[in-house]
A and B are shown apart, each in its own frame.
Chain A
């Protein structure tokens, strides 16, 4: 085996996937060639470095739920017009997420204005009723995502302590941490009411292991 051939397969020698005869040839060459010997050292370091590089850990259940809904829709023989529109918006929003917040906000505002223009042209706007649960202002309380909450843990909290706390509140991590260190937690009891959730958040807010605790808002992305 010549130098170029041996040097070219060093990454796979280092990951242990070469066939026996090829591995033997490379090994013989590495013992005789100082360049490849040093190169192999770098290969092992690179190998270790890549293997030690952080992996994004997310719970698969939420993703599988989405896939299941997609399969159910297909099984029903297609989706309704509203669902198709929602899907199109979702698909559109994915690529748009690469844009800056300001650009996205401007585009969203333009779309909303155009939509509002069409609506005001086509229909008479309904009167706004005080106390109407569908009417929201910036000071309104947003609808929370039910049994989910967001937590940012204190800096000194180890992973073991973090997991212990999540177990204490009978929950599981479904996503996170985001770039800001926010975890999304789903409580095991799906039937948890808002009062219980508020109590829990208040308790957590006073816990020295927690820097921030708050409800998760329905539809809000966890990735920053």
Chain B
């Protein structure tokens, strides 16, 4: 029988988790070099995830340090009920939503546009390819989703987490994860009508 499913991303393997766990044990013992190693290992992942939630690079960068400060201070409380990656992404999820909310309050107070409207306009220097256009459409479509829906989409499609892991990251029931994905897919289908119409991005 044909296997339609994709391969999981390697960053979630058991080997990776045991490396993360050993780093976390050293961090709990106060070893700054272990924190540096974990920081470097997670930097791009967190930057992308937090950027997707907050919509701002500055907030995403601030969020990474907020997350890593929690890892440094609370590393000893990690019980191993989930993978280290799920635990860290859970912290990032909460920090990202808080930062976004704080930023939105400020923009509301000063009657500025919503942060999602502050993304750079699409300004191609040459005739854009189909792929570039599709990526632009995707970026715009994702901005139409709620931050919680965007997080589920990003954690599923880019980071390769299972719905049970996303439920642990977002701190909500599995059915809520599925519902968020259901609504996100419905919106994306409307906003990306060419998807699946006649092969890739046609």
Contact between chains at A11 and B156 (CB < 8 Å): yes
Q: At the interface, yes or no: B88 with Cβ under 8 Å from chain A?
A: no
The tally of CB-CB contacts under 8 A between chains A and B is 152
Q: At the interface, yes or no: A67 with Cβ under 8 Å from chain B?
A: yes
Q: Which single member of B4, B40, B57, B153 contacts A60 (CB below 8 Å)?
A: B40
Q: At the interface, yes or no: A196 with Cβ under 8 Å from chain B?
A: no
Contact between chains at A15 and B156 (CB < 8 Å): yes
Q: At the interface, yes or no: A108 with Cβ under 8 Å from chain B?
A: no
Known A50-B138, A98-B118: A8·B158 in contact at CB below 8 Å: no
In the bound complex, what is the Cα–Cα distance between A58 and B196 (angstroms)? 33
**Cβ contacts under 8 Å, A224 to chain B:** 120
Contact between chains at A52 and B8 (CB < 8 Å): no
In the bound complex, what is the Cα–Cα distance between A95 and B110 (angstroms)? 11
Known A53-B138, A68-B32, A94-B103: A100·B196 in contact at CB below 8 Å: no
A-B contact pairs, 26 of them (CB 8 A): A8-B178, A9-B163, A12-B156, A15-B160, A15-B161, A16-B8, A17-B161, A17-B162, A27-B1, A31-B1, A41-B196, A48-B200, A49-B135, A51-B158, A53-B135, A56-B51, A63-B43, A63-B65, A64-B40, A68-B32, A71-B32, A94-B59, A95-B106, A98-B107, A98-B115, A221-B58
Chain B: residues with CB nearer than 8 A to chain A?
Answer: 1, 3-8, 32, 35-36, 39-40, 43-44, 47-48, 51, 56-62, 64-65, 68-69, 72, 102-103, 105-107, 110, 112, 115, 118, 120, 125, 131, 134-135, 138-139, 153-154, 156-158, 160-163, 165, 178, 181-182, 185, 188-189, 192, 195-196, 200-201
A15-B162, A95-B102, A179-B120 known, 20 other contacts, Cβ within 8 Å? A11-B181, A12-B162, A12-B163, A14-B4, A14-B5, A15-B161, A16-B6, A16-B7, A17-B160, A44-B4, A48-B200, A53-B138, A53-B158, A56-B47, A56-B60, A57-B44, A60-B44, A98-B107, A223-B57, A223-B58
